[in-house]
Amino acid sequence: MDWCAQRTLTPLPAKPETVATFIDDMSELKAPATVRRCVSTVATAHQAAQASNPCATHVVKLALQRVARTCPNRQKQAAPLNWSHIEEALPKLGSQLRDVRDKALVLVAYDTLCRRSELARLRVQDLVTQPDGSGTILVHTSKTDQTGEGTQKWLAPTTVIHLTAWLEVAGIREGLLFRGVYKSEQLGTSLSAEGVHRALKRIAKILNLHPDDFSGHSCRVGATQDMAAAGIDLPAMMQAGGWKSPRMPARYAEHLLAGRSGMAALAKKQGR
């Protein structure tokens, strides 16, 4: 809207040429993925208004192709929160309500490899503890499960201990598993995806890491890297993270996997 206002152009309905010019301008400032998200938002706004979608035109498609050709497609990856980070963070977090929640949150995020929106939607009634101290939790919907069939995720005994402690101190018996915590230590009714993002950045800050490098994906990246380091194969990693293709887990663990490449194996045999 602001971009159109500065140029006295009509944002809705927008002409295809307007959207194409917007794409060209944004490509000088934003990553290709961000530009595509903006175009998707424009398309959704036109569909909601039952207006002709300018983003479906050849002019706009050509503009997006220009972005793909002239801009690097490699997105910046969130810094990982590996198990070594989590082990260090747990004793540094205190006993306040937010601290207890964040201990449980980071452990659940690591074990389940859930995205931040999925973590925010987890429910108490879907948590099941096992005789050996481990547990499972049902993730109802995800980016790759839009029908809501759900996937059971495993939780380590350590995670179950901290999760149980959080539920007890917060007095949560049903509903959403994680809740916001105000400065007054008052419990909120829910925890937003952005709240998950802030909690993980807070843990990074406690570890004296640069918080801006971390996001809600950091545990997902860290757990994938740790699986690769432990010799877990790609199919098992894909199952753990709910991926339909090996592209993203391979990307997250690319440095470790490169060390197992044919050339790496050859160099070791050659003694170099």
79 phi and psi, to 5 degrees? -65, 145
CA–CA separation, 237 and 259 (whole Å)? 17
* CA-closest candidate to residue 42, choices 68, 18, 7: 18
CA–CA separation, 119 and 139 (whole Å)? 8
pLDDT value at 139 more than 90: yes
- Report, as an integer, the average pLDDT of 55-73: 80
pLDDT value at 76 more than 70: no
- Report, as an integer, the average pLDDT of 146-164: 88
For residues 139 and 118, is the Cβ–Cβ distance under 8 A?
yes
The one-character DSSP state at 212 is: G
pLDDT value at 38 more than 70: yes
181 phi and psi, to 5 degrees? -130, 120
Which of residues 175 and 22 earns the better pLDDT score? 175
- Report, as an integer, the average pLDDT of 132-155: 81
Query: Which CATH superfamily, name and number, covers 2-70?
Result: Tyrosine recombinase, N-terminal domain (1.10.150.130)
Which of residues 250 and 45 earns the better pLDDT score? 45
Provide the percentage of residues in the chain whose pLDDT is more than 70: 94
pLDDT at 72: 56
Where do the domains of the chain lie?
2-70, 83-254
Distances (CA, A) of 256 to 80, 226, 232, 260, 266: 13, 9, 12, 7, 16
Question: Which pLDDT band, with edges at 50, 70 and 90, does 184 fall under?
Answer: confident
pLDDT value at 75 more than 60: no
Question: Which pLDDT band, with edges at 50, 70 and 90, does 141 fall under?
Answer: confident
Q: Which fold has domain 83-254?
A: hpI Integrase; Chain A (1.10.443)
